[in-house]
Structure 1
């Protein structure tokens, strides 16, 4: 029996020490400013709402495409897709949605409404006109919110497996709660350091979002890890998560009537094997926005830009061409 208690005690000690070890490693790692970590093609843009980091591909005179990313990613993850689009005559501007990547996050407001405001302020600061907005996953919800709020500068919207979370009149904001454990700082710090902020798990966690897991490359993992040494990274992730879990009714893009009123050509792209935002959600969204096209990708999950790069790049490029042509026709009438 004494041996049993010794073994049990050792197990408990290890369970406590391992997360603590990851937390200590995170404190040592998170020491660099965003300016020291940004990529070669990265630029900081001063906007009315703060400094936004963007990754840019293509020539300055090409048709602009503004892209948003998913949870725990940043603009650099669009690299392969962006290069394909640049080869087709587009200028790709991939913004970092705070707290991810390298954009300013000092105000601590990561709500969908505020993210959309940042996006529209970025478009204004860059003087983008008739640009096409492309949003993936979490960034798809932000893109839809930005379009619903102000689409004047936009020529079209492409949503890729977006996280929208539509609500109806029976929605009760109290139903969205932060788990009690996330209100205990020492636990949340170690939880983030052991999971989303742990470089050892970047590949494993990313593959959970994918159907074709072999699509994730070592280069992708390195890109995802690039912002991890940024100062205050873990605490910013916790703040984002709490706000994401309790969005409430404030985002206009959660309301069917607001989304239905969107006066903008829309294209939907969805993986048929997506388990994060199942394609049934896409079918529901399609009944509201009446998209110009709804591309269903066979044998593909939530990360089509990684799971089948060439096919996805071709489909997205074709969708942009159609939206560009539609915009030109509308201007000519």
Structure 2
């Protein structure tokens, strides 16, 4: 028995030692890897717009002059370079496209003191439209990007031609965050959360696993796509900014209009819902709840698809989005949900 206990103690000590080595290696890797300057590294086919002191990167892909531009608002850990086949498909159909990097993602600001509220993010979307001289846009918000997209539509309905929410993470039915939880207390401490981010979400060893947990079609997470997703990860301050955003997202209660059911019921913009039927991150029940707030809102489910339709079924999703953008808003509003 004593020998067994000694082996157990040695095993625990060895595991702890390995964990310590892994954490130290992760922190060192982050400090060495995150060296690129944002302004110098941003893709040359885009521009950095400063809105209320925060730098926001966006790209304008040209289309027909008689078409209302499409504003694409990405989800968690994505950026303007991860729409992949969707932007070319929209351009082939004549739609001008603006793809924005919502702070702190992509090539937008990495400052940890940034206001990450939906109200502030919606103001940045408006600022991007202003910078490109665009009065109205078709706004498409995916996952986390659905919150700022909806907030923009509620606050600036004159700027939004129609709103398309794709597997939107709105949290309307979720309990309020518990800021006193151990996780939130850890995320509230910059030094602790920086270590946590370096060891988990910002670590390339976990990137593929994390992304695959969001999708139903695992083969959609290809090495080429992972390279694209991780491209901005080498920017200075990327993991620290991700930690600051994670604290807000998980531990700070949203107070914007997009959290107010009565405001959503009174939305003055045609709204459309596109959803993965096998989404386990924002399950279809969240789509039907949102639809119940605005009766008559079209809901299209994609069978066999999870949380990221545009990489899981790119051709089908592009066709569905193009149909949604081209459909007369008046007819779509009275169409039966599918």
Q: Same fold (TM over 0.5)?
A: yes
Supply the distance in 2 between the matched residues of 1:49 and 1:90 (Cα, whole angstroms): 30
Match of 1:51 in 2: 55
> Given the alignment, which residue of 165, 186, 189 partners 2:171?
165
Name the counterpart of 1:28: 32
Q: Any conservation in 1 of the 2:177–2:250 contact (CA below 8 Å)?
A: no
Cα separation, 1, equivalents of 2:228 and 2:306:
20
Whether the aligned pair in 2 keeps the contact of 1:167 and 1:254 (CA below 8 Å) is no
Alignment of 1:1-333 (within 5 A): 1=3, 2-59=6-63, 61=65, 62-106=67-111, 107-166=113-172, 179-322=184-327
Summarize deviations over 1:273-323 as a string: whole Å, max 9, x none.
000000001001001123542111111110100100000001001111115
CA offsets 1:248-268 (integer angstroms, 9 cap, x no match): 251111110011111011110
Mapped partners of 1:271, 1:293: distance in 2: 14
For the structure 1 residues 105 and 130, does the alpha-carbon distance in structure 2 shift closer, same or farther, using more than 3 Å as the test? same
Bigger CA drift: 171-180 or 194-203?
Answer: 171-180
Change (3 A) 1:46 1:179: closer
Counterpart-to-counterpart distance in 2, 1:232 and 1:167: 33
> Secondary structure of 1:226's partner?
helix
Query: Is the partner of 1:63 in helix, strand or coil?
Result: coil
- Alignment CA distance shift 1:105-1:189 (3 Å): closer
Structure 1 unmatched ranges of 5 or more: 328-333
SS in structure 1 opposite 2:149? helix
- CA deviations over 1:59-98 (Å, ceiling 9, x no partner): 3735311010111111111131011001000111111110
Structure-1-length-normalised TM-score: 0.90
In the alignment, the residues of structure 2 paired with residue 142 and residue 176 of structure 1 have an alpha-carbon distance, to the nearest angstrom, of: 26
- Say if 1:326 and 1:79 are closer, same or farther in 2 by CA, change over 3 A: farther
Following the alignment from structure 1 to structure 2, what is the Cα–Cα distance between the partners of residues 176 and 284?
29
Aligned equivalents of 1:259, 1:324: Cα separation in 2: 17
Q: Is the 8 A contact 1:46 1:125 kept in 2?
A: no
Per the TM alignment, residue 118 of structure 1 is displaced from its structure 2 partner at its CA by 1.0
Native 8 Å contact 1:167 1:256 kept in 2: no
Q: d(CA) in 2 for partners of 1:8 and 1:97?
A: 42
Question: How many Å apart are 1:128 and its aligned residue?
Answer: 1.2
Q: Distance in 2 between matches of 1:165 and 1:308?
A: 25
Aligned to 1:330: none
In 1: Cα distance, 2:13 partner to 2:277 partner: 47
Give a deviation string over 1:97-123, Cα, whole Å, max 9, x none: 101111134352111221111111222
Q: Distance in 2 between matches of 1:222 and 1:98?
A: 20
Contact 1:37 1:226 in 2 (8 A): no
Q: Secondary structure at the match of 1:135?
A: strand
Query: When the two structures are aligned, how many residues end up with a matched partner?
Result: 325
Deviation at 1:186, TM superposition (A): 4.0
Structure 2: state its 5+ residue gaps: 333-338
The structure-2 alpha-carbon separation of the partners of 1:307 and 1:47, relative to structure 1 and needing over 3 Å to count, comes to same
More off after superposition, 113-122 vs 42-51: 42-51
Deviation per residue, 1:10-44 (Å, 9 max, x gap): 22111111011111100111111112332343322
